[in-house]
Every structure is written in C-alpha cells, then in structure tokens.
Amino acid sequence: MVQSMPDASPAKWHLAHTTWFFEEFVLARFDRAHRWRDERYRVLFNSYYDAVGPRHARSQRGVLSRPSLEEVAAWRRWVDERVLALVGRADEEALATIVLGTHHEQQHQELLLTDAKHALSSNPLQPAYAARAAPAGAHGAPPLAWVPFAEAVVEIGHGGGSFAFDNETPAHRALVGAFALGSRLVTNAEYAAFIDDGGYEEPALWLSDGWAEVRARGWSAPLYWERRGEGWTEFGLYGSRAIDAHAPVSHVSFYEADAYARWAGARLPTEAEWERAASQRVVEGNFVESGRLAPAAAGSGLAQLFGDAWEWTASAYLPYPRFRPLRGALGEYNGKFMSGQMVLRGGSCLSPADHLRATYRNFFPPAARWQVTGIRLARDD
C-alpha cells in the first residue's frame, strides 16, 4: 500500500488499475450483460482518462486502505472470468482492446517493480524485495566500440501486422545521417569516473534545466547510489550492495545521461538512429524472465539494445508525421503526453521480453530517475 512519491503507485493500486482497465474498456464497452462491480472503483482506479470521468488524485493513492487486497483480488478474478468468456464471441475491436489490455498490464508489471523498489528505498531499514542477490556476471564488460551506420533514408515506426501502440505509427520514411553507435551501455565504473572527474560540479557539461535540477535536488550520483568509503553502494531489489563495475549504470535522468555523453565527447542517439540500428535485430537480452532483476554486463558485438536498461535518446517525445491517436478515451493512452518528455528505447531487466520491439517508444520526463534508465552513446561519423 506504500506510495513513496506521487509518481510511484502502491502495488495494490497497480493490481486494481489494470483490472479497472479491462472492466472500463473491455467489459463495459463490449459485454452487453455488463454490470459494474462497484461504480466507485471507476473513480478510484482511473489513472488519467479525462473522457471516462473524474478520478482519485494521483498523489493520494496511498490512502486507499479499502478496498482491501482480498477485495481487489476477488474483483480481478471476477473480471478475468468475464473477459475470458468474452474472447470467444468478441469482434475485432473488442479483441484488439483485450490485446491492448494485456500490453497495458505488462507495462504495469514493470512499474510495480520499479515502484516497489522506490518504496523500499524510502525506508531507512532498506529492506530487500528478493532474498538472495543475483549471481555476479561470468565476465566483465567488453571495451566500448563504435558501430558505424551510413546515411540513409530508412523506414521508422510500426507498419502493422502485429500489435503496436498508436504512438509507434504510422511507419514513415526518415533521412538519417551517418553516425556511429556505442557497442554497449555505459557501465557503472565509467559513470563513477564521470563523478570522480567532477561531473556534477561543472555547469558547462549540463543543459540549463539539468543544472537547475542538480542544484535544486542536490544530485551528486545516480538515484540509489550511496558513497561508502572509497566506493559506492547501490540500493536495488536485493537491498543495498556494492555497485557492479561492469554492469550498466541505471537510475540516471535524461539530464545526467546527456551530461555524461558531453563529458565523454559523445552524444545520445536520436530515436531514429537507435531504431535504425535495432530494426534488423532479434529481441533478446536481460529481461525480467531471467530472474536477475538487475542490469548485467554486456556481451560482445552491438550489445544490450534490448533489456538491461532503458536507453535515453536525444529525441523529444513528439507525434510521428500523420500520427492519429486511437479513437475515444483510449486516444488518451499515449497522445496527450507528447510534450515535455523524452523518448527511451529498448526495455530493461524488469521488462517482460515479449513486451518489446524495435519500434517501441517509451517516454518519461527528463528529470525522472526511478525507472531502470541507462545510457548508450552515439557520435557523428
């Protein structure tokens, strides 16, 4: 039930909200026999859909001691049964909405873990979510190499034939200049060198808004890092432990990713550059199914495009040319957030594997740090 900040929701709320999604958008629209389980849940567990009606304030999700976990679980079973019963007789739009609901649920599976991590980190006891830490990697990170790409007009976005969110469409052509992409994510050791070199004290490395955040919030390291003697510890789902030098740095904001890149004489890739590199690749990597629950050292080649840590891009989250949001209230799913946020690509170690694809566009405000967000470099070639 803990809500440790307005952005992070209690685990029970995630369970209830994903249930609400199916009742509101599937059962109420497509099941003629539908009667609301409890009309008041429509307000309590609506996240941000203005067209659906009023909603309980986001920052107050932690006060909902009722309905109890048992009541929410019963409601979930009730909804599940009815959705499953509907599948057999559902039309195309109903089926598409059920599929959307399952992808929505996958997003909340990841958020449930990142929010629980934040909640546990807010407790001075620093309790661990999982009892036993992941085994250390079998190998260190390979040296950073640069993978070159020549200028080309490429197709960006999702062309149909399988599920995609509306914000990935339509597929369209874009001119992408020559560039080189870093072969792996930036490691904890590399990021620690940035800190040791005074990265957090040098305004010339930072965007103006980023520097303002650094000073207002007193940032001097990634979220969850703590100086311990000569080194650093990092809080995670295994509790607090020494950072893994070879694993990718995570829990950095866009501003930190951008400042690091400038310090390293490089830059962040645009989302078109990233997609160009990823579009021919198999989606494989360190996902939540691995059970590792933390980023791991890279393998060889162009590594870690998927999994490990979401990769901040240099691209603002904006509509693709000729973008049309879904009709009705579901049009609020993605489209209305297309200002003030940055695009992230590739997924993290807490993402479900089959939730991801090369065209997938995640987005967060540039100061957000509680997601598993890391850094891949690019440079002009």
From 118-126, 140-148, 193-201, 291-299, span contacting a copy of itself (CB under 8 A): 118-126
Q: What is the rounded distance in angstroms from the CA atom of residue 158 to the CA atom of residue 174?
A: 13
> Which residues 6+ apart lie within 8 Å of 365 measured at CB?
340, 341, 342
Q: Answer yes or no whether residue 231 interacts with a copy of itself by CB under 8 A.
A: no
Number of amino acids touching a copy of itself (CB under 8 A):
58
Residue type, 343: V
In sign, the C-alpha dihedral spanning 342, 343, 348, 354 is positive
Q: Answer yes or no whether residue 40 interacts with a copy of itself by CB under 8 A.
A: yes
From 105-113, 331-339, 347-355, 369-377, span contacting a copy of itself (CB under 8 A): 331-339
User: In the complex, what is the shortest distance from the CB of residue 316 to a copy of itself, in angstroms, rounded to a whole number?
Assistant: 4
Helix then strand count (H, E) for the chain reads 9, 14
CA dihedral defined by 254, 260, 265, 270, rounded to 10 degrees?
A: -20
From 84-92, 200-208, 226-234, 300-308, span contacting a copy of itself (CB under 8 A): 200-208
- Of 206 and 360, the one with the shorter C-beta distance to a copy of itself is 206
> Which residues 6+ apart lie within 8 Å of 227 measured at CB?
221
Q: Answer yes or no whether residue 119 interacts with a copy of itself by CB under 8 A.
A: yes
SS (H, E, C) 195-250: HHCCHHHCHHHCCHHHHHHHHHHCCCCCCCEEEECCEEEEEECCEEEECCCCCECC
Neighbours of 316 (CB within 10 A): 14
Q: Would strands 378-380 and 146-149 be described as parallel, antiparallel, or unpaired?
A: unpaired
Q: Answer yes or no whether residue 161 interacts with a copy of itself by CB under 8 A.
A: no
- Of 80 and 209, the one with the shorter C-beta distance to a copy of itself is 209
Q: Answer yes or no whether residue 338 interacts with a copy of itself by CB under 8 A.
A: yes
201 to 230: interface string for a copy of itself, x by CB under 8 A: --xx-xxxxxx-------------------
The residues of the shown chain that bind a copy of itself, judged by CB under 8 A, are: 1-4, 40, 43-44, 48, 50-51, 56, 60, 62-67, 119-120, 122-125, 127, 153, 172-175, 177, 203-204, 206-211, 254-255, 258, 314-316, 318-319, 321-322, 331-332, 336-340, 366, 380
